[in-house]
Amino acid sequence: MSLTVFWPDEPFPDIEEVRFCRSFCYSTSRSLCFELDSGIVWKTYPTKSSMASLLGEAFTEHLLIITDPEIILTSWAVKSLLECSEVTGSACGPVYNLTEYEKQQARLHAPYLNIETLKELSRENFKAHGRDHLSAELIDPSCIIYHEQLFKKINQRELVKTPIDFSKSNFVKTISPGSLVHRFGNYYGGERPDLVAMIPDKVKSILDVGCAMGGYGRGLKKERPRISLTGVEMNPVMAEKARAHYDQVIEGKIEDIDLRTKFELINCGDVIEHLYDPWKMLGELKKHLYKGGYLVLSVPNAGHWTIVRDLLRGRFEYVPVGITCITHIRWFTEESVTNALVEAGFDIDVLERQQLPPTRAGQEFIRSMTDSGYGDEKSLLTNEFIIRAVKK
């Protein structure tokens, strides 16, 4: 089967992680799909292109049109989409880790945290569902495969409309449950209920360091609207979005800001690993807490099994967001992060270990490491620490 993949070419926002994410998704998807067939044709297109213009550039039986530049395709996902389209003769969409379309929500036995585990689950998903397909009235427009014969069945005037979105057209539409596609989604707008849950009832003033697009504030204000909430964010694009959910947002790096007030709680959700000198900053943050004030942290664990396994194989792959995020500067285990807090003048009040279930291959790896005496099961299973500390 022949295939042309059309990938959107749109301006990058002024956010470092997003710029990397879009470049990463394109290059990774292309590399993974070439594992299936080096003859797949890849083309980029302006997002205001019409379907007619794309058809003029495609000389293959199938067109795979991507409208979301922050997704990752695997060879197994493409293989499943091709087979589904060939069998049904329809426009066909995959399943996703994140989507608003209920029928396209992936049902996985375990989450994945890097490209290797995505490939593992994508392969398992394909083998489990084969050529299965489901009918659907609507499908997510982010990734749809079409057979060229479909375009001969509709009014040609429809083909010149822009922007491209045939998810609601009169095409026959199906979903391929065997094709898993990863979407990064709005990572910087998450509400972080795990961190909001760490706020004691008596707290009335909070500083949120690295507030991103304000998800933490949005979630917190729903539950406790009277809390005084100040955010710090160095990216002006994200700071502007966060202002809708905070009483005040200070734009700049936390290291450069002259804070002249104190708070009852300081929140650092996945922050200190992005700082050049987090040890010094922990001491500085303590100065801006009242006596008995709280510091709440979430910190990824450098001892997680996915990192350990990759290192043993001589690999270390940066990703747009996650444990090996491209903007991480420092790395922590449970011992090193708790030592840093104690040395900065904090007592550990609560320490929770977030442990997502490992994949089947991950379970085997953890078992082999612990049975041989080289691995600590608790550490290998922990992907992130959620900590509440108290100023001494």
Phi, psi of 179 (to 5 degrees): -110, 105
Contact 210, 271 (CB under 8 A): yes
Q: Pairing relation of β-strands 91-96 and 173-183?
A: parallel
pLDDT at 38: 67
What pTM value is reported for the model? 0.90
The answer, yes or no, to whether the previous bond of 163 is cis (omega within 30 of 0) is yes
Q: Tell me which residue has tokens 């795979």.
A: 64
In this structure, which CATH number among 3.20.20.105, 3.40.1180.10, 3.40.50.150, 3.50.30.30 belongs to the domain 187-391?
Answer: 3.40.50.150
Query: Which long-range CB contacts under 8 A does 182-186 form with residues at least 24 apart?
Result: 182/71, 182/72, 182/96, 182/97, 182/112, 182/118, 183/68, 183/70, 183/71, 183/96, 183/97, 183/98, 183/99, 183/142, 184/21, 184/25, 184/70, 184/71, 184/320, 184/321, 185/70, 185/98, 186/213, 186/215
d(C-alpha 308, C-alpha 315), whole Å: 9
Q: What is the full per-residue pLDDT of the chain (392 aa) written as tens digits?
A: 689 999 998 877 777 778 889 999 999 999 999 887 767 899 999 888 888 888 888 888 899 999 999 999 999 999 999 999 888 888 899 999 999 999 999 998 888 999 999 999 999 999 998 778 999 988 999 999 988 777 776 656 666 666 666 666 777 889 999 999 999 987 777 899 999 999 999 999 999 999 999 999 999 999 999 999 999 999 998 999 999 999 999 999 999 998 889 999 999 999 999 999 999 999 999 999 999 999 999 999 999 999 999 999 999 999 998 899 999 999 999 999 999 999 999 999 999 999 999 999 999 999 999 999 999 999 999 999 999 999 99
pLDDT at 260: 86
Phi, psi of 383 (to 5 degrees): -95, -25
CATH superfamily of 3-183: Spore Coat Polysaccharide Biosynthesis Protein SpsA; Chain A (3.90.550.10)
Q: What is the 3-state secondary structure (H, E, C) of 96-133?
A: ECCCCCHHHECCCCCCCCCHHHHHHHHHHHHHHHCCCC
pLDDT at 48: 82
Domain boundary assignment for the chain: 3-183, 187-391
Contact 179, 145 (CB under 8 A): no
Encode pLDDT of 289-322 as tens digits. 999 999 999 999 999 999 999 999 999 999 998 8
pLDDT at 156: 61
330 Rama sector, left if φ>0, alpha if ψ -120 to 50, beta otherwise: beta
Q: Pairing relation of β-strands 173-183 and 71-72?
A: antiparallel
